[in-house]
A and B are shown apart, each in its own frame.
Chain A
Amino acid sequence: MNKLADREIPEQAKLPRRSFLALAGEKFLELIIRFSGISAIIFVLAIFFFVFREAFPIFFSDKFNLIKFLFSTEWYPTSVLNVRYGTLALTVGSVSVTLLAMLIAVPFGLGSAIYISEFCGPRLKESLKVVIELLAAIPSVVWGFIGLTVMSRMIVAVTGAPVGVNLLNGGIILALMSVPIIVSISEDALKAVPDSYREAALALGATKWQMIYRVLLPSAKNGLLAAVLLGVGRAVGETMAVLMATGHAVQIPHSILDSVRTLTANIAAELGEAPAGSDHYHVLFLTGVLLFLLTFVVNITSDFIIRGVRRK
């Protein structure tokens, strides 16, 4: 029985044995790969931990009141006599700029996505997609500069408003910034609709337009919703463009020609002046926590919607 094992194996038939060093090196590399894989979780937790750690001491300050922080419009962080930290005006500023931006960006974004996905030929499609990719690459500070110079002059000329940096300006700039992401995600959603749906509709004598709004839009609606949500996420989190384009008044806007300030722009504008460790500094970190949680919810929701589409 042992004959097989005893038989001498010719030298060239033996598998080349890898050295111990090579094996250990491979194990070590795989360890690094696994660790890098976990790094994303570590970083998200670290962001929450460090931002919250700097915000935490504010809860022990007697000048701070969480209800007032969320629902008061009085933001006087540097007042000598009566310091008040109410972020409602800033929240309303963020929400109104985002809403206005979405009112402009969503129709245009969906329209362009439909045109790219359904109407144009392959050459035009390729070049439009490249242009959209380039649009998405324009830095936010350049958008802010465009808002500050070109757009504000145009707004003053057209509407006769006293200042050109206002809610309308910020809305238009944010719309231009979030259109690329809306277009590319909704184009993906439209592409995910099976061609057999289109063929079935066209075979029944529907025109392309009928096919789009009776068949395509209803079956792609989850993906389109996710696209809009990602656009909202981008608009809420945008900092430099709104800092430069919306003016600097902490107030609840009464018309679209009023200046506003958003949560993000407020942090960027005041963090440099707030001494480290002061109440003001901690409050700014607390608004950061608020923003982090807000975008967390928006992103997770849109991811679940996209995943639901894929599973179908």
Chain B
Amino acid sequence: MINKSNPPHSFTKTKFVLRKERYQTASKALFLIMSGFMIVPLLFIIAYLIYHALPSLNWEFLVDVPKRGMREGGIWPAFIGTLYLVVISLAIAAPIGVFAAIYLNEYARDNWFNRIINLAVINLAGVPSIVHALFGLGAFVYAARFGYSIISASLTLAIMTLPVIIASTREALNAVPMSFREACWNVSATRWQTIRAIVLPNSISGILTGIILQVSRAAGETAPIMFTGVVFYKAVSRGDLFPYHLNEQCMALSMHLYTVATQVPNVKESIPYATAVVLLCSVLLVNVSAIVLRIWLRNRKKW
């Protein structure tokens, strides 16, 4: 029987209900604050870095060479050296990574051998960067006799970025619906024809985004390159676009930041800050453009 004199909207909250609602509000506020703690202090830190970097942040700083034992001047050789390392290492890692992902996603059956490959990829992604440095030193510098050179450092970086390229490419390939492939097989296309005509065109955007994200990772790493081919200082003429040979050592932005921050006494105060800001901003710029590209492509997707 429904009691007409006491309709549902006059339901009064008991103290248990009140308590659980209080907990609910408190927990929501707590988690919001926790998320905020992750982000807000960082904004302050970045603002602090930029504030201290301001006296040096100008075009001259970017295109000038370091002067007076790196206490003054710019970062051009380091900047261009990082560009060299990133381009060469990705030129090596991207094809191997994409092919490996094609194998794992399109060819491999679910057997013990391919499970071992998967474990190897996961493990490769977790190897500490300093162990990559030791490997690069042992394998490329000494065993392969490349010496301390751009090529050794790039190869080390390439192996470090490889597992992440494999993972992101697999994700992109996996997003292509199975029915697309089946339709193609049904008109008697071979596996490779299907991949070239259907799978790759439909996933190329995701693959590219994954590779662009690795640009920033390769640019920021220091440990793997500092023992395989990057030096503290190398004389380069101002604004030179092709200053290095592949079998020479070079400077790199991340290593340069480490050097001016810890190894060089009496540096002009704003220089390490400005180096950090340039490195941080170029890395974040690359990432933001990859994310924008991804969002734009996702909205354009037809299926």
Contacts and interface: CB of A to CB of B under 8 A. Distances in A.
A112 B128 contact: no
A37 B280 CA distance: 34
Contact of B138 (A50, A141, A148, A298): A50
Nearest to B217: A137
A36 B135 contact: no
Interface in B21-49: 21, 23-24, 27-28, 30-32, 34-35, 37-39, 42, 45, 48-49
A51 B126 contact: no
A253 interface: no
A209 B31 CA distance: 11
B192 A236 contact: no
A288 B116 contact: no
Interface residues of A, number: 81
A150 B32 contact: no
Contacts of B70: none
Contact of A37 (B103, B123, B139, B191): B103
A237 B124 CA distance: 12
A67 to B, nearest CB: 23
B139 A41 contact: no
A307 to B, nearest CB: 9
Contacts of B254: 139, 141, 240
B291 interface: yes
Contacts, number: 257
Contacts of B139: 46, 50
A244 B272 CA distance: 13
B121 interface: yes
B279 A111 contact: no
B280 A51 contact: no
A179 interface: yes
Interface stretch (A79-87, A128-136, A156-164, A193-201): A128-136
Nearest to B41: A176
B34 A115 contact: yes
Interface string A132-174: 1111011111101110111000000000000000000000000
B126 A233 contact: yes
Contact of A54 (B103, B120, B138): B138
B100 interface: yes
B262 A119 contact: no
A264 interface: yes
A230 B123 CA distance: 11
B211 interface: no
A72 to B, nearest CB: 22
A139 B192 CA distance: 38
A249 interface: no
Given A271-B227, A285-B138, A295-B128, A30 B48 contact: no
B122 interface: yes
Given A141-B220, A207-B20, A135 B135 contact: no
A116 interface: yes
Contacts of B134: 50-51, 54, 267, 271, 284-285, 288
B259 to A, nearest CB: 10
B284 interface: yes
A239 interface: yes
Contacts of A139: 216, 219-222, 254, 279-280, 283
A3 interface: no
A296 interface: yes
* B interface, over-half SS: helix
Contact of A291 (B45, B130, B255): B130
B163 A40 contact: yes
Nearest to A285: B134
Contact of A137 (B48, B95, B103, B287): B287
B151 interface: no
A21 interface: no
Contacts of A34: 103, 107
Interface string A174-192: 0010010001000000000
Contacts of B117: 37-38, 40-41
B280 A26 contact: no
Nearest to A36: B99
Nearest to A107: B34
Given A36-B103, A233-B126, A268 B34 contact: no
A128 B273 CA distance: 27
Contact of A142 (B95, B97, B132, B279): B279
Nearest to A129: B291
B230 to A, nearest CB: 11
Contacts of B30: 111
B78 to A, nearest CB: 12
16 contacts: A26-B193, A39-B96, A40-B100, A41-B120, A50-B139, A51-B135, A53-B138, A119-B28, A141-B255, A146-B276, A148-B262, A207-B23, A208-B28, A212-B27, A271-B227, A303-B119
Interface of B: 20-21, 23-24, 27-28, 30-32, 34-35, 37-39, 42, 45, 48-49, 52, 95-97, 99-100, 102-104, 107-108, 116-117, 119-135, 137-139, 142-143, 159, 162-163, 166, 188, 190-193, 213, 216-217, 219-223, 226-227, 254-255, 257-258, 261-262, 272-273, 276, 279-280, 283-284, 287-288, 291
8 smallest A-B Cβ distances: which pairs? A139-B220, A237-B128, A37-B103, A111-B34, A36-B99, A115-B31, A299-B126, A50-B138
